[in-house]
Structure 1
């Protein structure tokens, strides 16, 4: 993995297997299917439920600095703990978590390359035992929202010639052919289509069949072929921001792009805004 801009952002299954009993490492499983953890998880891993653990209970936003400190404290995480994130769907929500935790300044963050798919394919052990860790005191920094885009910012920058909007959804969602994704009623919108000027680069094209990331050369070809380069300002989006966080991870951690933001409001917000410009 040394070919990537930040190889330290990834670990492989062998590394995880060698650190299962390392008290300085905390495994966090973040799945799209929140029931998978109970079916079986990597020994020592704690469960992150995206519907509950990192969502503000009232406004559509994430938990605040204090909320993250409480969450990490309950998981026995300190500022020096190495956090390894993994999950299903080629690490959709694991990458989403990585992006969120980056905002709050945690330094030692890693993704398990290949996630559950790779771990299972190799026949590695699962457990149903839920670990309990001694409570710690964690100190987060105030959220750095420079890697997060909001709707007014996107709207204001639509005519910026250096901006590259990346719609990471499927071609059917991008074209407007598909308004609602099957089994995702919570991700609905009033209108179908895409943000004007957005380029369709589905998140899945960056992954191999075993769930691992493609090579740096392949990834550069994918984005370069769509006129997306490190010199651009980039904003990625999907429906709620989890797939586009995966693309944010690829661009920033694997390819070394410096100016990438994830628009987590994404299509559920944009597609329901009154008078928002839409293309099909």
Structure 2
């Protein structure tokens, strides 16, 4: 399926107008119509890694973030070769249209979108509303795990221009023209909540936030049904906090997954030109020697 067809079909649904790149969103109707399209691969990426086994969109493969894209030794993502192996295993070619969806307002789906973008995959889409909307509409789920013939896939070296590291964040503390977005809950931002129940991998010794960061929780970008808010609403949400397109923006949370959702909103839906996701986030910053923090 050519990219133009996917774009037209996706825009033909109820996605609100005004997004900078409306082609990155497709509606549930579009996905239902392309379940058997050999040029489309659907990937479920959930925060709840056991959810896929309870039922998933027919033909969808499972991306387990704890296993599939993590370096087994260092705290990092798989390298180029590892990413290529993953794509080949799922029968994904360089020209395959990949549709990502998941639970929790698509937060891990957007995290995957960010990672796949870093590895240069060009044809990426998010199913607007994610798993929540698909289920609410009574659409089919299956427990059958699909099997695809291995493909040929070639990935470039990762483009880390969309990724921030601690040195980049430290540099922003002494410069103007930057915008730091802490997408965590207000309780995490103030330091009231330090330890996350059921998330031992996200622990930190100190609570608070990076100096100068604005607190705009990631979930504020979504409607109750899991779909994204309109471009007008999103521009107001970030603009009122001084996070504007003229700035170099860095987003962060605890491990980079919620902040990747905000990265998606800012870059893909609003068209901000310079946004990076700091995936080290608070588990690095809150444990780092001499890293400055702020509390109310």
TM value normalised by structure 2? 0.94
Aligned counterpart, 2:150 = 135
From 225, 245, 263, give the equivalent of 1:248. Answer: 263
Aligned counterpart, 2:133 = 118
Aligned counterpart, 1:152 = 167
Superposition deviation, residue 160 in structure 1: 1.6
Residue 92 of structure 1 pairs with residue 107 of structure 2: yes
Superposition deviation, residue 185 in structure 1: 1.4
Residue 82 of structure 1 pairs with residue 97 of structure 2: yes
Aligned counterparts of 1:90 and 1:253: Cα–Cα separation in 2: 16
Aligned counterparts of 1:160 and 1:38: Cα–Cα separation in 2: 48
Residue 184 of structure 1 pairs with residue 211 of structure 2: no
Listed one character per residue, the Cα deviations across residues 192-234 of structure 1 (whole Å, up to 9, x for unaligned) are 0000000000001100000000000000000011011100100
Superposition deviation, residue 182 in structure 1: 1.7
From 94, 106, 115, give the equivalent of 2:121. Answer: 106
Aligned counterpart, 1:50 = 65
Query: SS at the partner of 1:90?
Result: helix
From 173, 177, 180, give the equivalent of 1:165. Answer: 180
Aligned counterpart, 1:226 = 241
Aligned counterpart, 1:217 = 232
Contiguous gaps of at least 5 residues in structure 2:
1-14
Aligned counterparts of 1:218 and 1:146: Cα–Cα separation in 2: 27
Aligned counterparts of 2:111 and 2:83: Cα–Cα separation in 1: 15
Aligned counterparts of 1:100 and 1:90: Cα–Cα separation in 2: 18
Listed one character per residue, the Cα deviations across residues 54-91 of structure 1 (whole Å, up to 9, x for unaligned) are 00000000001100000000000000100000000111
Residue 11 of structure 1 pairs with residue 17 of structure 2: no
Aligned counterparts of 1:212 and 1:232: Cα–Cα separation in 2: 26
Aligned counterpart, 2:9 = none
Superposition deviation, residue 180 in structure 1: 1.0
Structural RMSD (CA): 0.6
Superposition deviation, residue 186 in structure 1: 1.1
Moved more, 129-138 or 179-188: 179-188
Instruction: After the TM superposition, list the runs of 4 or more consecutive aligned residues in structure 1 that deviate by more than 4 angstroms.
Output: none
Listed one character per residue, the Cα deviations across residues 157-178 of structure 1 (whole Å, up to 9, x for unaligned) are 2122111000000000000000
TM value normalised by structure 1? 0.99
Aligned counterparts of 1:126 and 1:94: Cα–Cα separation in 2: 18
Equivalent residue pairs, number: 280
